[in-house]
Amino acid sequence: MDIIVKRDYDEMSRCAAEHIAALIRKKPDCVIGFATGATPIGTYRELVRIYNEEGLDFSNVKTFNLDEYLGISMDLSKPYILDQSYRRFMHEELFKHININEENINIPDGLARDPEEECLKYEEKIKEAGGIDLQILGIGGNGHWAFNEPGSSFDSRTRVIKLNEQTLNDNYEAFYKKAGIPREKMPHYAITMGIGTILEAKSVLMLANGAKKAEIVAKALEGPVTTMVTASSIQIFKGKATVILDGEAASMLVKQTIK
């Protein structure tokens, strides 16, 4: 596992975007797993800059997002702040700014009539695409990867999951509160790729920033491998794992690599 510690959020984001851009230049038809949340917003902004200024070509890139809330989907008739779907997030933060082919975008459908079937179909689509070359990941305050809440098994697949209280609180504070959406109106379920699905990616790129992530980052990277911190599965990941942190998120690690 490569752990890279950058001075601040902007440097972390630039480094992460360069990592992703390098793969796209090397393999223009690569399959990238994208993540949502506050953490990767700077990375996506930087990818847009590379697209505009350096002509990075996304036209043959295929994408699979990690997760989507159950019961909602992109609704362009609403202002962005009131549309908390992850599809809308990706549209606003990245996809509408680059030359990605709409047909190459895959995000679980939160409004699927049969969510169980949607999960099976999603797994099939990943297989048909030849698997994920690079999966981007954040880490939740409770150590989750995607919405794999504590206790999710390491061989779990794409499935419907109930969000735990900490995740609901974190996402309320980070997103819903600003939109004036009451906590009880937040979706309490989601479709998420499983840890088993994520561990089949050829490489992973995990990002974390800020002091409030320091303790959970240390647990995930240096603590016991446990389903109670699903991101600790990075320690048994067989492909290439890269972690890019800012100084605050790295501050409780024993081993630190300042690059």
Q: Count of residues binding ligand PGA (CB under 6 A)?
A: 7
Any bridge partners for residue 73, and if so which? Answer: none
Out of 100, 126, 134, 139, the only residue in the binding site for ligand PGA (CB under 6 A) is 139
Is 143 near ligand PGA (CB under 6 A)?
A: no
Burial of 152 (0-12, 13-18, 19+ CB in 10 A): buried
Active site residue 248: no
CB-wise, 126 or 139, nearer to ligand PGA? 139
Stretch of 94-102, 137-145, 149-157, 187-195 lying at the interface with ligand PGA (CB under 6 A): 137-145
- CB count within 10 Å of CB 239 equals 14
Out of 140, 143, 194, 247, the only residue in the binding site for ligand PGA (CB under 6 A) is 140
Q: Pick the closest to residue 88 from 113, 105, 101, 112 (CA basis).
A: 105
Residue 80 CB contacts under 8 Å (≥ 6 apart), including other chains: 88, 92
Residues 18-47, interacting with ligand PGA (CB under 6 A): 37-39
Is 110 near ligand PGA (CB under 6 A)?
A: no
Q: Do 20 and 43 touch, CB atoms closer than 8 A?
A: yes
Active site residue 65: no
Active site residue 148: no
Residues 168-207, interacting with ligand PGA (CB under 6 A): 174
Give the orientation angle of helix 9-26 with respect to helix 41-54, to 10 degrees: 50
Catalytic residue set: 67, 142, 144, 149
Residues engaged in binding ligand PGA (CB under 6 A): 37-39, 138-140, 174
